[in-house]
Amino acid sequence: MTIADIVAPERVRRVPDVQSKKRALEQLAEILAEGTPYLTAADVFNGLIGREKLGSTAVGDGVALPHARMKGTDDCIGAFIRLPQGVDFQASDNMPVDLIFGMLVPEAATDEHLKLLRALAELFSNEPVIIELRDADDDAALYRTLLANDVVVG
């Protein structure tokens, strides 16, 4: 499994006017639910916020990896958003989050999605990748950067 396997180009976006973690997760939920008739943005948001209540998914350096197990999906679905400025995600390093990779996995998912989360956390700890994502001029450049630094799991 790779980023290219789970993230379509239209699910990679620069998102304006986001001032809070809640609004960032709402935007992410809307993007993740697009084109999936079996999921609503509200269901996805509830799944993401439910996971956040267990502990912040911020991994440091302004990056968060919110994720949720979802009934009704057979495949992993991913999305990436970049915010114009960071929002408080209760990160352990206290840095505001502006780079968010969200993922939905089937309710009966195996450990493969955990391996993918670990690989993503490692990818997003790579400072040159973070700089390139923050410097990307448009959504297509964000997507190209993700694919150029893709991870392989499984």
pLDDT in tens, the chain (154 residues): 889 999 999 999 999 989 999 999 999 999 999 988 889 999 999 999 999 999 999 999 999 999 999 987 888 899 999 999 999 999 999 999 999 999 998 887 777 778 888 889 999 999 999 999 999 999 999 999 999 998 877 6
φ/ψ of 136, rounded to 5, equals -60, 135
Active site residues: 67
pLDDT at 133: 97
| Separation in Å, CA 130 to CA 97, 100, 115 | 12, 11, 20
Question: pTM of the predicted model, to two decimals?
Answer: 0.95
User: Among candidates 2, 1, 154, 6, which has minimal Cα distance to 80?
Assistant: 6
Whether residue 76 contacts residue 57, with contact meaning beta carbons closer than 8 Å, is answered with no
Cross-strand bridge partners of residue 108: none
Catalogue all structural domains in the chain, each as residue range(s) with its CATH number: 3-148 (3.40.930.10)
pLDDT at 97: 98
pLDDT at 103: 94
Whether residue 62 contacts residue 86, with contact meaning beta carbons closer than 8 Å, is answered with yes
Whether residue 90 contacts residue 56, with contact meaning beta carbons closer than 8 Å, is answered with yes
The two tokens of residue 88 are 């408080």
pLDDT at 154: 63
Q: In sequence order, which residues have a C-beta less than 8 Å from that of residue 11 and are 6 or more positions away?
A: 31, 32, 34, 77, 78, 79, 80
